[in-house]
Structure 1
């Protein structure tokens, strides 16, 4: 076995030696200098057919030159299939005889595309005819040449290339005659050798020399290559190889030969030279690729957005749980979506400036009102409103405050879930938007008293106090028994606990609904409990008159209901503005109670806040007026029967225990303290004040739970 292996090794050894020899032969010529690469027959080592000098440390990544040293200045600028284009710096001190030995070699010589510019020549007689005047003024040469004085201008002459005979072509190969050049005079200074122009007197390009190159011998060209034969200045036969159109390479058998060039490169594809089918296919491929890139980009963006939304949801939920005074149930977005039938239009109760309210039914069968905050480009404000409302309402418990059942902060949504109020808002009943029957006075009075107690509870029953800041008839909801429920704490703010004078108010930019905003608060930016008193005074006037707080259908001086009421009540003309459906003269108590409520509203609407009563005083007065009333009338029963038919789909609560008169349950849930919520003059958790008052001074910019929070809806 070992003998067989040895025999095989000896058999293949000669072939390995031949292979090594071939590799050594092919690799004996270095064709790279820095970043420069040349083709056969050129190179930068002694084994190359035409050797060039190399400086691989040049600033431009490599430099090649012709001659033994770079000092002659013949730096190679380009290598073509015919010639070496070298640079020859113009110099009046360069001697012609010293340069000609370098320019005429065994592999190249100056072609007839060149012309010489010489200075201070003493030519032989027969060479005198070769010298002509230059077509370019000598001054142009002097400005671009070294060692040239202005006195040399008169001695500068041109030596144009020899002209072809009439029976020859410029495509034939001619070289400058070295002998004729020497006859110009040994002391002749070579300024420049330039030009690729066939004109008798060439237009020179300073500093460029065309050296036509060759290979000695007969043609040895590869397939798909042309062979060009020529005679050198030394009368030797030579040749060059050049690949045919459609092929690329050096064209020599001893070199790399010729390689077929693809018929359709990038430029031909785009120009349509490769055919319309290929062009269309390329276009479709580009469109498909662009679509794929766009799709991948959108997918990545969507995934990043979902991840960001998930992180925001987690942070928001953590913040919500940390800021809420009491535990707040969290509903999943899927559950809320099912409860509202996918937020369908049939379930929509109304839309406000901040969001849309939907009726819904939870999985346990409870009817709820779902407030979905509008999504804006910057949802920080919407999230702050949700956080503010949850923080304020989570532990506040009163029979006349709407109850927050929970919330949902998922998928970039901010949703609040409240108990369902089947009888809509007080504003809808005063404007008779829910039916032709007018609300009786005793019912209106009871709603006013209950609302006053709820607001008084916010001011005095919790610590620190809560200023609602958006008291209006459309934020007073009515349950199945027409009990008042104050809603919407999105704009509410917490007051200060201290008993100092500065603690009587907080400074913040005015927000609310036009027609209800305290004018003094609007003027000095001081929000206090008396600001809610003013807004409630407007509600009392609405209850008496059934007019809108702002109505542009009235005369200009009476557009604002508060100003109209102050004027009429102040002049003792209350009867002029009383809702005629109340029939105030039906009995003495009705007339007296209406006037007492009007007088109370007048005091609530005082311009100076210190002249207004507190909400506790307002609640006491309304209770006294209510207790002085008579038993429910037939009108009360008729209104109850009419309106109950409108809301027959709502679940019955304690309607059998209530009456439209004075009888009512006065028991209230004890108010827990909310001392865990730290309040400063600038509360980070509260809604930020706007930059300007005008930014929020629009009637439709009020809270979303307004006039349509609990309208009639078909629940599925």
Structure 2
């Protein structure tokens, strides 16, 4: 009796343990694998046990008559699933905002907040509207990514807007960064025009949207198609650690993607196989001979093999040496050999002729480009100048190719929207930065302006302005050659945690004083006034002795002597743009003054100008900084690395100067010359009061050894401002150069 009771107890325990065990995923045909016309391949599933993990749970809503498939418990609608490419196609939300609404800034729903899914870099971000700022705020790994674009309209007439073009007029777009996870869309509009006060922004797959000017009047879409990529995230399993695991999905003819560098792992069918790589033995052989995907010649016999195929050439099989056909075959072979020799001779002759014609064509083309880019005009300006002020060197294509080792990829020190920067070494061992632009305007007016700018910049001999050495005009797009500055940008020295501690207040004051002097020189001392138009820390280079060098004249404008302002399309960097210039399109010298004021704020606070992670009242750093001066709470916003217990008088003076530079009306701002003189006075008072702040030569040498020269530059455009790639030897070991700039 006791043994029976014991047996019953054991059975009860076993049944209970079985019921409590976790449900294992299954790939069998017992699972429902469709929702309407949409297939649901594994690792996705509709019910427990039919998916790999809960991240791949999908829901089929049949309540409306037409089945609709959703991802997990969200409102993300699925259109298609592509397990072979680890992709899904979904419908993403469209963000809308209207200028006349109570809140002209909107956030779309958090349309992506999933562990295993990221936005594919084949998608584009599109914004539609007039005077519209649109951003994507997302997260890649542990870093926040903020990127966006600006769409403007000149007037209320849509006839000037080009259909199918999202170049910034009525519509703007950019490619989504790879690996972007949790994301939101932020959209603001200053559109007061009569067309339509509303703006729209969305992420859309490649080819999923074609801009039309009528969309400015009425854009009714609430969702747009986009692609997401995914991976199997199962603990710490990767391609390198989980091959022997029983629950590792890449089995049989399925391989793990070794090139994937994100979290988890991805599978794909081996070459010659097709199917679902996440199901064991589902990758089956492809019959290339039957499908016509082989590369055998028409006279070959194609034979399919497992995972591949064989091409067999038809020959004289069965013919023996004593057969009557042997002599015919031998003669045919001799004839074929003779034809081959003659053919080889003709091939060499034609190759020699072709190379000669190509060389001549290249010379003619180089001469054409030289004239087209204003080379003759530049030669006349150089030879016609009686003095030796114009020192621009005209480099040949061969000279720059030799200086950059034929533009070797390892010589790239910067990439951006305006072009690529290469490090080069001239025959006299001078190290230079060679900028190859991306865009060129072939109108005669623009050529004249380009040559005039080269001549003027080559005459600038200011210690705080990057020196233009020369140019090459023998290619379709001219190349500019600048002096090489080895120690990165001011942006990096402010925001790199290690470097920011090394630049004390006296060094910071010296840098902004030198920068102000350079801008004052450009405004008032140059032969033709130059407005920089893109003043920001990323365009202020720092050499090994912490001497400031103003760079990046790609957006600069030459102002005729008889004009105080110039009407242009708005161009610059968000956060640093003069609001008056943004509203009126009238560029003046005071626009540089406003941007310089923003630089002062960034240098004093050590914080980035735009950061949506800060509290709402602190998101606009310039407004928060001005408010701290008015509220006498300046100490709270100053850079912690300055290690201040109270605000020194000289910092108060610089802060008030920054406040005056940031006046909304340009007439109320000081001139750049007045700013430079005031900063020089503050610096002089510091030296008189604390004579030890002036660095000795030995101290400068020590700073050089600690920081070490860096060979990276940041070519800033509208790229991610959170990236900084200049690291001194004391902070990090040598790294691979990324985005760099300072030269345009």
- Higher RCO structure (Cα 8 Å, ≥6 apart): 1
Q: TM-score, normalised by structure 1?
A: 0.46
**More helix per residue: 1 or 2?**
1
Larger-Rg structure: 1
Q: TM-score, normalised by structure 2?
A: 0.44
